[in-house]
Structure formats: structure tokens, C-alpha cells
Structure 1
Amino acid sequence: MQARVTGHVQGVGFRYATAQRARELGIVGYARNRDDGSVEVGMAGHDDDVANLIDWLQTGPSAARVDQVTSEEIAPQSWTDFQTG
């Protein structure tokens, strides 16, 4: 699964908070800033855990302001942990 989060989501610890939440849920993948000011999140794990992370992305950390989260299925990846970059 891949999600794109828009709003005030860069410079507020969004990627690091996402990584922490993902690790708590046992999700592997990544969170990275995009040039357009959004954050892209790739994730893999149990369906319920992925759905839980997507729900969490709707709010994010307290310093963030999330305007929109869009998600789509992507081809399976060979992630082994959760990275920020």
C-alpha cells in the first residue's frame, strides 16, 4: 500500500512519528518527503494494521495539519523494516 499525505506535514516530525507508529503496529515500509510538500508512505503488514496506520495518517502528530490522505495498492515490496528518508 502507498499513501500520500498533504497539508502541513513537513518540518513537524511527521515522518518520524509515522515510523514510530508503523513499528508499533509491526508494519514495514518507508516515509519520505516529496518535493510538492506532501509525505509519501509505503507500507506492508497485516491488513488491519495497515488500515490502522492509514487511519492514524488522517491526523498524524500534534504539530501536523493533515488536509488529505490518498492511498493505493502497489506491487509487493521486499521491505524488512520501516525507514524514513
Structure 2
Amino acid sequence: MKYVSAKVQGRVQGVGFRYFTQHTAMSHDIVGWVKNEDDGAVLIEAYGDDNNIDRFLEEIKRGPSRFAKVSEMDVNKLNGEPEYNSFNVKY
């Protein structure tokens, strides 16, 4: 299992990015959360099978539509085993 945080930068707010992230996570059996940051980035915490996390992150890099543009994504491994049971959009 893999537990990661990712800070996604670019045109990622106001373009449906959080809901795209939630849908993508759920389709890959990943739990965690996504939220907008004050600096215009989107922060993600995700936990799941190693291969599922890798595929999830590749889809996130591509973004949801022609309106979104990921310019940078910093991914860090986290320690522990979170107790999430779903993937949520945080406000």
C-alpha cells in the first residue's frame, strides 16, 4: 500500500479539478481527500494499492479537461496507515 500527498499547481481551481480528482480516486479504489489551497494550488492526500496510486497520479497529471492545466506536481510519500474510508472533497 502507498500513502502520498501531492501538491498540484497550474490552472487547477475553478475548472472542476477537485471533482475530477475525487472521481479518478474512486475509480482506482483510493481513499483520502482533495482541497483547494489559498495559493491557487490543489492539495491531495491519497492512500491505496501501489499500482492504483501510480495510475491515479498519472491521470491527475493530465487533468480533467482542456480548461485545466497541470504545470507542476510535487508528490511525497507519507508514513502510516490513514483511517480514511472514502475519498472526499474538502472545503
TM-score by length of 1: 0.96
Moved >3 Å (runs of 4+): none
Identity in percent: 34
Q: Does 1:79 align with 2:84?
A: yes
Residue 37 of structure 1: CA displacement?
Answer: 0.3
After alignment, is 5-14 or 67-76 more displaced? 67-76
**In angstroms, what is the RMSD of aligned CA positions?**
0.7
Matching residue within 64, 69, 72 for 1:61: 64
TM-score by length of 2: 0.90
Matches of 1:69 and 1:57, distance apart in 2: 9
- Identify the residue that residue 50 of structure 2 maps to in structure 1: 47
Q: Which has the higher strand share?
A: 2
Structure 2 unmatched ranges of 5 or more: none
Matching residue within 64, 67, 74 for 1:70: 74
1:43-73 CA-to-partner distances (Å, cap 9, x unmatched) read 0000000001111111111120110111001
Matches of 1:27 and 1:17, distance apart in 2: 13
Corresponding pairs, count: 85
Structure 1 unmatched ranges of 5 or more: none
Matches of 1:15 and 1:83, distance apart in 2: 9
Matches of 2:63 and 2:89, distance apart in 1: 15
Opposite residue 81 of structure 1, the aligned amino acid is S
- Identify the residue that residue 20 of structure 1 maps to in structure 2: 23
1:5-29 CA-to-partner distances (Å, cap 9, x unmatched) read 0000000000001100100000000
